[in-house]
A and B are shown apart, each in its own frame.
Chain A
Amino acid sequence: MKPPPFGYVRPRSLTEAAALLQSHGDGAQILAGGQSLLPTLSLRLSQPTLLIDINAVEDATPLEERDGTLRCGARVRHVELERSELTHRRAPLLAMAMPQVAHVAIRNRGTPCGSVALADPAAEIPACVIALRGDVVLQGSKVSRIVAAEDFFLGLYETARGAAEVISELRFPIAEPDDRFGFAEFTRRLGDFAIVGIAAAAHLEDRHVVDLRFVVFGCEARPKLSAVARELANGCACDAVPIERIAKAVASEIDPMSNAQGDARSKRLQTRALSARVLTHMFAGEAA
């Protein structure tokens, strides 16, 4: 249970980190919070030749609001995002999700950018960034580029990040006053990875749903943006969203992996129950 030998560098900038990835090739890995990476080292599931520690970079964006987006840079820890008043005001979905990301001591060290880079299918932040139409900013040694979160997650721990790119920022559009959000997950123990989870955002105009982004995670190899939820909800008055119908349709739409956490059938049932719960939170009480 001890990490294998590896080299270690602590660059002063993200561009330098990207250049190191470029020059060292496959054996090099970025070390951000390390809360997922270190266990894989101790368990000898990964054996990098070089860790590039980005905790001392001086060019990382802080957590800040700029140009209509909430920006979360590479050195921002989960705990900062969880507790910031900016998160609560500007991205309420993240404020709902953050307390369910792992445990306190892990949130004190882990980073949202790192979570997105890892792309664990049961992680909360990838699902939220998709639901919120967020962007992932990737820094190479020379240029940076922006990828929409929806196009970023490609499969199980697979993303659109290039081998010599570092995630420098997540960008979340600022919530509109009429937006509604819902988040829930099913776990054996608070803070564990979700067996099934849902992150949802709805944009309303004149009390009608114009865009429901309903993301189911933990079931498939990557977070799934539900097409059927959008189709059934869009255009509905916000007090007439067909909650049960959508919940049932979402559960049929997913293709859950059977694993130690449960078989596909259980996960469908859990997804249906959880979907109804989230939609009720978002839209019920309208009739009153």
Chain B
Amino acid sequence: MSTAEASDESLAVCVTVNSQLVTEHVLPRMTLVDFLRHRLGLTGTHVGCEHGVCGACHVRLDGRVVRSCLLLAVQAHGAIVETIEGLSASGEIADLQEVFVRRNAMQCGFCTPGMLMIAAELVSAGHALSREDIREALSGNYCRCTGYQAIVDAIEEVVRSRHGHVQ
């Protein structure tokens, strides 16, 4: 049992972040997003609302997109975390990134890493998607600039090019 019964007691976290194993000591109250940004310097993951509403802090935890403001760093112990830096470096989302830029699917860019994380999960589902499906998947991500239209267009284009069609 991992224990830090006192709140000022640090716990060891061993976690694989973007293919690198890191070990750090953190207080239980530290969220995963603060851990990624402040301890590891991975500032591509953004902090928006800090209570699970906006989606700017999306990361992948053991293969699934989660809100990193709604997880404690200590909970990532033993897990595999992938951030926008990892997805970007591996080339996994190169097509999404290219289309986001070409179609101007961002303005200030604050929400974009979170959008790309959820879009990556969506387009890798391996089946046709309607615009409605895309909008549903984006319903947990706030963008205060674009009105979403260009983002939906961009994801739709990637779905079409990866799977041949949109419903």
A9-B5, A38-B70 in contact; A190/B28 too (CB < 8 A)?
no
- Given contacts A3-B29, A6-B28, whether A105 and B71 have CB atoms under 8 Å apart is no
Determine whether the beta carbon of A34 is less than 8 Å from that of B7.
no
Chain A, residues 98-123, CB within 8 Å of chain B (1/0): the string is 01001111101100000000000000
Q: Which B residues between 136 and 153 are near A, CB-CB below 8 angstroms?
A: 136-137, 139-140
List the B side residues contacting A12 at CB < 8 Å: 1
Chain A positions 1 through 40: 1 when the CB is less than 8 Å from some CB of chain B, otherwise 0: 1111111111110001000000000000001001100110
Query: Does B19 count as interface, using CB distance less than 8 angstroms?
Result: no
Contact in complex: A105, B55 (CB < 8 Å) = yes
Residues of B with C-beta under 8 A to A1: 50-51
Residues on the A chain within 8 Å of B34, using CB:
2
Interface size counted on chain A using CB atoms at 8 A: 39
Question: Distance in Å from the Cβ of B17 to the closest Cβ of chain A?
Answer: 18
Residue of A nearest to B8 (CB): A5
Flag if A4 contacts B29 (CB, 8 Å).
yes
**Is the Cβ of A5 less than 8 Å from the Cβ of B139?**
no
List residues 6-43 of chain B with CB under 8 A from any CB of chain A.
6-9, 11, 27-29, 31, 34
Q: Count A/B pairs, Cβ under 8 Å.
A: 118
B74 within 8 A of A: yes
The answer to whether A191 and B140 have CB atoms under 8 Å apart is yes
Tell me if B65 and A6 are in contact (CB < 8 A): no
Of the residues A6, A10, A108, contact of B7 by C-beta under 8 Å: A6
B50 A9 Cβ-Cβ under 8 A: no
Shortest distance between the CB of B42 and any CB in chain A (Å): 18
**Residues of A close to B77: CB separation below 8 A:** 10
Stretch at the interface among A50-58, A126-134, A149-157, A162-170: A50-58
Q: In the complex the two chains form, what is the Cα distance from A7 to B66 in whole Å?
A: 23
Contact indicator B69/A6 (Cβ below 8 Å): no
Q: A9–B66 Cα gap in the complex (Å)?
A: 22
Are A109 and B51 within 8 A (Cβ)?
no
Q: Which residues of A contact B71 (CB under 8 A)?
A: 34, 38, 109
- Given A9-B1, A11-B1, are A108 and B64 also a contact pair (CB < 8 Å)? yes
Chain B: residues with CB nearer than 8 A to chain A?
1-9, 11, 27-29, 31, 34, 50-52, 55, 58, 61, 64-67, 69-72, 74-75, 77, 118, 121, 135-137, 139-140
Sample of 6 further A-B pairs with CB below 8 A, known A31-B75, A42-B50, A50-B5 = A8-B28, A9-B3, A9-B5, A53-B74, A104-B65, A105-B58
Residues of A within 8 A of B (CB): 1-12, 16, 31, 34-35, 38-39, 41-43, 49-51, 53, 55-56, 79, 99, 102-106, 108-109, 189-191
**11 A-B contacts, Cβ less than 8 Å apart?**
A7-B4, A7-B28, A10-B1, A34-B75, A51-B28, A55-B75, A105-B67, A105-B140, A106-B67, A109-B67, A109-B70
